[in-house]
Amino acid sequence: MRFFHLSDLHIGKQFYGYPLLEDQEWILKEILQLVRERRPDAVLISGDVYDKSVPAAEAVAVFDHFLGELASIEPRIPVLVISGNHDSGERLSFAGSILENEQVYIMGNAPKGPKEWLKKVTLEDEWGKADIYMLPFLKPGMVKNVFNEGEEPETYQEAVSGILSRENVDENHRNILMAHQFFTAGGEGPKLSESETVSVGGIDQVDTKCLDGFDYVALGHIHRPQSMGREAVRYCGTPLKYSVSEWNQIKSLTEVEIGEKGTQPQIHLLELHPLRDVRVIRGKLEDILLAAEGEVSDDYVSVTLTDEQDPYQPKERLEAIFPHILEVKMDNSRTSGLEWLEEETETITDPKEVFERFFFQMQGREMDEEEKLILQEVFESVGEAEG
Q: Are the CB atoms for 278 and 246 separated by under 8 Å?
A: yes
Predicted confidence at residue 194, as pLDDT, reads 85
**Cα–Cα distance for residue pair 256/298, rounded to 1 Å:** 33
Predicted confidence at residue 195, as pLDDT, reads 79
pLDDT in tens, 236-295: 999 999 999 999 999 999 999 999 999 999 999 999 999 999 999 999 999 999 999 989
Triad 78, 80, 82: Cα angle to 5°? 175
pLDDT over 90 percentage in the chain: 80
The residues spanned by each domain of the chain are: 2-271, 278-331, 334-386
Query: Mean pLDDT, the chain, as a whole number?
Result: 91
How far are the Cα atoms of 125, 171, 207, 260, 345 from residue 129, in angstroms, in the given order? 7, 11, 27, 10, 67
pLDDT in tens, 284-311: 999 999 999 989 999 999 999 999 998 9
Predicted confidence at residue 43, as pLDDT, reads 98
pLDDT in tens, 326-356: 999 999 987 775 554 455 444 555 677 777 7
This prediction has a pTM of 0.85
Predicted confidence at residue 345, as pLDDT, reads 46
pLDDT in tens, 24-47: 999 999 999 999 999 999 999 999
Phi/psi of residue 74, nearest 5 degrees: -115, 140
What's the CATH number for 2-271?
A: 3.60.21.10
Predicted confidence at residue 369, as pLDDT, reads 79
